[in-house]
Structure 1
Amino acid sequence: MLIEKETLPKIEENTVQNKTIEVEKLFKSLSEMPSDFYSEERVDEPPQEREVIQIRK
C-alpha cells in the first residue's frame, strides 16, 4: 500500500524576517509622530434610529 506524502507550499525563507522589519518600521514611524498628533477630542453620539421600510407581499 502506498502512502501519499502531503507536499506543503514552498515558503520563502525571509518572509518572517521581512514582516518583522515592516512592523519595526511601522512602530518607529509611530514613535516619531508629534505628541499632539493624537490629541483630537472625540465626542461619541448615540446611534441614529433607522427608518423601517415595510415591504408588502
Structure 2
Amino acid sequence: MADGRHIDSHEWTDVDLDRVARFHDRGLSAEQIAAQLGRPPAQISERLKIVINRIGRFH
C-alpha cells in the first residue's frame, strides 16, 4: 500500500464484512458466500457470526 502498510490476504476489512452482510441479507448460505468471495466456508461462517452480532446491536 502507498502508506507502507501491508494487508494480509487473510485479514478481513470492514468492506469485506459489509460484503458478507449484503450476501447474507440476500439469503445466501455460507458456502455460497465463500464461493463469491473466494474464501473458505469456515471463515465465512465465523464472519457471519460477527455480522449477525453487529446487526443485532443496531436493530
Which TM-score applies when normalising by structure 2? 0.30
Which TM-score applies when normalising by structure 1? 0.31
The structure richer in helix per residue is 2
Larger RCO (CA under 8 A, 6+ residues apart)? 2
**Higher CA-based Rg:** 1
